[in-house]
Amino acid sequence: MTLSINQVTKRYQDFVAVDNLSFTIEKGEIFGLIGQNGAGKTTTFRMILDLQETTEGTIMWNEKHINSINRDILGYLPEERGIFPAMTVESQLYFFGELRGKLRKDLHKEVDYWIERFELEDKRKAKAETLSKGNQQKVQLIASFIHQPEFLILDEPFSGLDPVNKDLLKNAILELKEKGTTILFSSHQMDNVEELCDHLCLLKRGVSLFTGSLLDLKKQYGKTKLTIRTDISKEKLEKLDGVKDIQVGKDQYTLTLEDETYAQSIFDFVSDGKYIEKFSLDYLTLDEIFKDKVGGTNV
Amino acid sequence: MSKFWLLVKQLYTQKVKAKSFIFSILLYVVVISAVMFWSDIKEALFKDEPLQVALVNETDADIESLFKSDNDVEFTFPTEEIAAIEKQVVDGDYDAAIFIKDQEKSLAAEIATYEPLTFNDQLSLSSQLQYAGKLYEVQQLNLSAEQAEKILQSETVISMKNLNEQSSTGKSEDEKAAGIGASFLVGFLIYSFVMTFLSMITTDVASEKGSRVLEVLLASVKPSTHFLAKLTGTFLLALTQIGTLLLVQGLLFMFIDNGSKWDVVLDTINELSVGFIGYAVVFLLLTIVLYLIIGALLGSLVSKVEESSQAMMPAMMLGIIGFYVLLSGMYSPDTLLIKIFSFIPFTSGMVMPLRIGATDISSFAPMLSLLILIGTVVLLFLISLSFYKRSVLTYSSGGIIQKIKTVLKVTT
């Protein structure tokens, strides 16, 4: 066990930001913290980073209290982006690397590698303020892990990135995982969480609604999402046993089943022993589960 | 390099290379040089024609010899009729005509002009006429020229003897005059440095907080380290600016005009006591530190850099008050107002050097004022350090008081 959050509560005078939160993250794992705005994600990050104190509970890193560890093993990308506007890309990366305890000579290789990897070669000597928002974000992202931290916290790392840069970031996160970095991140974009996370914690107003593996969460709901392409009318499909809801798409229906056991009888009815173009039974997406758990409001 | 020095270096190198920093030094040099070389500049750029004055002496006494022409006034002694001379004044041949006559054994003078004289010209003519009037009356007493001269040149020799052993020895008028001049310079420098660096540190902390880079920094260094690094970095910048300014200004004085102004500077320094210079330097540095602490604290309260000018307003007001009190003491440095403000830590740096330099003050008062200032710096540092840890990651709207309330609310 690497990070362990035990019954942590953060209470202010008139509200509770985080309520009795517990989860653990294993070494080399990617852990997702998801929740709406104000769910307590950033407060949790700040308590882990020792920027805020816990009201109750403990946060441990390798059995040691998080306040007592050397902070250089941590990397952090805050939700709102911030870099030094008048500093060049290169000097910014060296500065943050040195601030995290690395020697300048040990940073050359890393700086060169990540600048090239994130396609910032021509911006190396440019001041950060002259870069586009997306490029600034890439610089800050590199700055957060240039010192090769053991534990990296990324608060909304994907927001504001275009699809190409999102893929770059996704691959970088996976590369860091392979190197053994433990990663905790939050995101509003559930597809990213779904693709990257091994385990997750679903927060609503400071309270954990679910903590565990993504697969376990999906299994809770079962394979109840059925997508079919057929000429049969919506009215006929609605009358079938086990169908809770039908959404009509462009050229297909998406049925929500009460239980995955009804799938067989629906298949028999729809195919009638003949070839069928599409019949797909799936788990709910994380996005759908999230909306169901937190009450259908925007993420 | 430790994290503290990394932060100091980052702040220092960024600011010291900034155009505004270099420009402000140049501006100081230009302003100080303009003040010191004002008479030369004035002569070179605005060379006035001397004032043309016709003087008509209707008495028997030899008064003409008392009115010597110089660069400012050129006297002529026409013998025409009064009406003719007045016409010449109207026509602009003369700027003024002075008719001097006897009036019951005293001298009476009438100055006739067409365009009103400037205040300075009027003052200069009046004082010459007063002197002539005194001489005229002395002559009426039938004294010899030497006797008359002796009376007119007589001057009481006044020396000060201070019977209070606690107090420093009395200062001569020269010392006091040098003290006032130097105090004004010290006060002005403290005021402008305080304003410059208060603004610099407040904006710097506010911009780091506003851009959220502070969150990243504080994830790896303690808030106290960050706070100390900001104070140290900005203080080093202040020292750099003062040092560069003194160096550049000194070199300019030494090499321009054969070092004539350098001699003036040396003469002024010679008139000043070592105590004055020592106190002035200590007050200058401590006052800058005091305002830097306030500036960093105020910067940590705001949520974005745009709010920093509003946040630093209270501290600016304190500085401005100090400066105005200093100005009020330029002609009478012994008032109660000056005495009171020379003990208030936020203004003592500007006001106390004036009292030390220009008044006979006991050694106890500056020492007490300095101790109050040191005590305030230490106290404010401790309070700010504890508050900075809490305010630096709290974002809120509203005025300064509202922001302080929010910080206390969410962190206690």
Q: Encode pLDDT of A85-95 as tens digits.
A: 888 999 999 99
**Cβ–Cβ below 8 Å for A74 and B214:** no
- Give yes or no for a contact between B324 and B346, defined as CB atoms under 8 angstroms apart: no
pLDDT, tens only, B11-23: 999 899 888 888 9
Please state the domain extents for chain A: 3-213, 223-282
Q: 3.20.20.70, 3.30.360.10, 3.30.70.330, 3.50.50.60: which CATH number matches A223-282?
A: 3.30.70.330
Which regions of chain B carry the CATH code 3.40.190.10? 50-153
Residue-level pLDDT at B44: 74
* Alpha carbons B188 and B330: distance in angstroms, whole number: 12
Residues B46-60 as b/e (b if ≥16 CB within 10 A, e otherwise) read eeeeebbbbbbbeee
Interatomic CA distance for residues B316 and B307, integer angstroms: 14
Please, which residues 96-125 of chain A have a Cβ atom closer than 8 Å to chain B? 96, 98-100
Q: Which residues pair with B139 in a beta bridge?
A: none
CB-based contact B14 A87, cutoff 8 Å: yes
Among chain A residues, CA nearest to B1: A98
Q: Which of B244, B283, B324, B325 is nearest to B32 (CA)?
A: B244
User: Token pair for residue A207?
Assistant: 């309270």
pLDDT bin (cut points 50, 70, 90) of residue A299 is very low
b/e map A67-95, b = 16+ CB within 10 Å: eebebebbbbbbbebbbbbebbbbbbbbb
Compare all CA atoms of chain B with the CA of A81 and give the residue at the minimum distance.
Answer: B212
The answer to which of A149-158, A274-283, A284-293, B392-401 has the lowest mean pLDDT is B392-401
Confidence bin at B164 (pLDDT 50/70/90): low
**pLDDT, position A5:** 93
Q: Is the ipTM of this complex over 0.85?
A: no
In CATH, which superfamily holds the domain spanning B50-153?
Answer: Periplasmic binding protein-like II (3.40.190.10)
Q: Note the pLDDT tens digit of each residue in A162-180.
A: 888 888 889 999 999 999 9
What is the distance in angstroms between the Cα of B192 and the nearest Cα belonging to chain A? 25
Judged on CB neighbours under 10 Å (0-12, 13-18, 19+), B295 is buried
For B123-152, how does the pLDDT look when each residue is reduced to its tens digit (9 = 90+)?
Answer: 888 888 888 888 788 777 777 767 777 777
Q: What is the mean pLDDT of residues A195-224?
A: 89
pLDDT at B175: 67
Identical fold for domains A3-213 and A223-282, yes or no, is no
Please tell me the predicted confidence (pLDDT) of residue B290. 94
Question: Quick one: what percent of chain B has pLDDT higher than 90?
Answer: 20
Provide mean pLDDT across the span A67-92.
88
With an 8 Å Cβ cutoff, are A72 and B220 in contact? Answer: yes
Continuous segment of H or E residues that includes residue B151 = helix B145-153
Tell whether the torsion through CA atoms of A42, A43, A44 and A45 is positive or negative.
positive
Q: Which residues contact B188 (CB under 8 A, 6 or more apart)?
A: B323
Q: Which residues contact A227 (CB under 8 A, 6 or more apart)?
A: A252, A253, A254, A255, A278, A279, A280, A282
* Average pLDDT estimate for B286-302: 91
DSSP category for residue B165: T
Helix, strand, coil percent values for chain B (each to nearest 5): 70, 5, 25
- What value does the mean pLDDT take over residues A244-253? 90
Strands A225-229 and A278-282: antiparallel
What pLDDT, in 10s, does the model give residues B236-286? 999 999 899 889 888 888 887 777 778 878 877 777 777 788 888 899 899
Q: Report the range out of A218-222, A285-289, B339-343 with the highest average pLDDT.
A: B339-343
C-alpha–C-alpha distance, residues B296 and A51, integer Å: 19
Please compute the mean of the pLDDT values over residues B5-9 and round it to a whole number: 94
Sequence-ordered list of residues with C-beta below 8 angstroms from that of B353, at least 6 positions apart, any chain: B182, B183, B186, B187, B276, B279, B280, B283
Average pLDDT over chain A, rounded to an integer: 89
Q: Residue A12 and residue B409: Cβ atoms within 8 Å?
A: yes
Interface contacts A/B by beta carbons within 8 Å: 63
Residues of chain A numbered 37-56 and touching chain B (CB < 8 Å): 46, 49, 51-52
Strand partners, A185: A32, A154
Interface touch A85/B211, C-beta < 8 Å: yes
pLDDT in tens, A47-68: 999 888 899 999 999 989 988 8
- What's the confidence (pLDDT) of residue B59? 82
Say whether pLDDT at A298 is over 50. Answer: no
Picking from B215, B230, B410 by the largest number of A CB atoms within 10 A of its own CB, the best residue to mutate is B215
Residue B173: pLDDT over 70: no
Which of B284, B270, B259, B282 minimizes the C-alpha distance to B178?
B270
Neighbours of B364 (CB within 10 A): 10
pLDDT value for B131:
83
- 3-state class (DSSP) for residue B364: helix
Q: What is the mean pLDDT of residues A73-101?
A: 90
Q: Cβ of B216 and A85 within 8 Å? A: no
> From the centroid of its chain, how far is CA A176?
15
DSSP symbols for B235-279: HHHHHHHHHHHHHHHHHHHHHGGGGHHHHHHHHHHHHS-HHHHHH
| Of residues A11, A2, A19, the one with CA closest to residue A60 | A2
What's the fold here for domain A3-213? Answer: Rossmann fold (3.40.50)
Contact B219 A49 (CB under 8 A): yes
